[in-house]
């Protein structure tokens, strides 16, 4: 993970302006954010923030994909959220000076903008637009978290894996010409297990059985959904 050179620095303003977070924000205000913004290129496995690290900044994903992962005591990690383009990471935590509930980690090559909390702290009270945006983001995340709680509480593993895939397709899916869907992220059985609350062996078995029914095609760290409607049906419990 490193800062880009001058070439990208000059594009900082346009980059910021394109973000949903700064939509409808006056240009002169944007200058303030620009001053301390850093554009970072990240690689798979790069860590933006470690668990329990205190925070003086927040991030916006411009390209690529990051995740929030929580490390449990006996080595079983759980992926709590995924962030893709335009998603804001750790803003509220930063505004309130709290610690990260997990590690923020990049899943692939991408671009992330690092913003200092100070600027936002200064101006946020004068721009309800920011608050409304933040509230909506949080509402959606809470909704998602509640969904997952219900799924983990009541649904069998196969269904949960299907749900994870459908959810990931929606966020990271790459539609091909022939209607097939793949992920442009290296997605291991282990990763999928962490999304679904199960083990890598079970994921492997389920994927294999789906492959026999031509619902997916699998490879090393690669999953292609051939039949999304069947996938959705399984996710709904049929």
Question: Looking at 188, 224, 227, 230, which residue binds DNA (CB under 7 A)?
Answer: 188
Q: Is 44 helix (H, G, I), strand (E, B) or coil?
A: coil
Which parts of 75-134 interact with a copy of itself (CB under 8 A)?
Answer: 76, 78, 80, 92-93, 95-96, 98, 101-102, 124-125, 128, 131, 134
**Cα dihedral across residues 192, 75, 45, 55: positive or negative:** positive
Q: Is 152 an interacting residue with respect to a copy of itself (CB under 8 A)?
A: yes
Minimum Å gap between C-beta 219 and a copy of itself is 26
For DNA, the closer CB: 60 or 169 = 169
Binding piece for DNA, criterion CB under 7 A, among 53-61, 134-142, 154-162, 174-182: 154-162
The 10 Å Cβ neighbour count of residue 167 is 19
d(CA 130, CA 112): 20
If we measure between CA atoms, which residue out of 63, 149, 73 comes closest to residue 107? 63
158-197 footprint of a copy of itself as x/- string (CB under 8 A): ------------------------------------x--x
> Could you tell me which residues are beta bridge partners of residue 105?
47, 67
For DNA, the closer CB: 48 or 185 = 185
The b-or-e profile of 202-215 (16+ CB within 10 A means b, else e) is bbeebbeebeeeeb
If we measure between CA atoms, which residue out of 64, 140, 171, 52 comes closest to residue 100? 52
For DNA, the closer CB: 82 or 194 = 194
Question: Looking at 95, 129, 157, 224, which residue binds DNA (CB under 7 A)?
Answer: 157
Per DSSP, helices labelled H in 96-188 are 117-123, 128-154, 157-172
> Could you tell me which residues are beta bridge partners of residue 66?
83, 106
d(CA 42, CA 60): 12
- Using the structure block, give the residue that is written with the tokens 């078995």: 205
Q: Which residues bind a copy of itself (CB under 8 A)?
A: 70, 72-74, 76, 78, 80, 92-93, 95-96, 98, 101-102, 124-125, 128, 131, 134-136, 138-139, 141-143, 145-146, 148-150, 152-154, 194, 197, 237
Q: Which residues bind DNA (CB under 7 A)?
A: 156-158, 188-190, 197-202, 204-205, 207-208, 218-221
């Amino acid at each position: 993970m490193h800062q880009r050179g001058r070439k990208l620095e000059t594009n900082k303003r346009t980059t910021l302006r394109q973000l949903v977070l700064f939509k409808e924000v006056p240009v002169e205000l944007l200058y303030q954010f620009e001053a301390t913004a850093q554009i970072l290129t990240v690689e798979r496995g790069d860590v933006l923030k470690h668990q329990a690290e205190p925070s003086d900044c927040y991030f916006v994903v411009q390209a690529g994909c990051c995740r929030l992962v929580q490390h449990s005591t006996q080595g079983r990690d759980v992926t709590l959220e995924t962030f893709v383009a335009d998603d804001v990471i750790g803003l509220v935590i930063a505004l309130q000076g709290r610690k990260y509930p997990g590690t923020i980690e990049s899943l692939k090559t991408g671009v992330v903008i690092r913003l200092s909390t100070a600027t936002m702290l200064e101006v946020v009270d004068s721009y309800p637009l920011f608050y409304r945006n933040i509230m909506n983001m949080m509402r959606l995340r809470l909704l998602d978290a509640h969904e997952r709680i219900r799924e983990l509480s009541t649904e069998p593993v196969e269904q949960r894996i299907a749900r994870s895939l459908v959810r990931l397709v929606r966020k990271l899916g790459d539609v091909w010409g022939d209607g097939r869907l793949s992920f442009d992220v290296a997605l291991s059985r282990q990763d999928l297990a962490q999304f679904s609350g199960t083990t890598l062996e079970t994921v492997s078995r389920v994927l294999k059985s789906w492959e026999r029914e031509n619902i997916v095609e699998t490879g090393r760290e690669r999953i292609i959904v051939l039949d999304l409607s069947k996938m959705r049906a399984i996710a709904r419990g049929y």
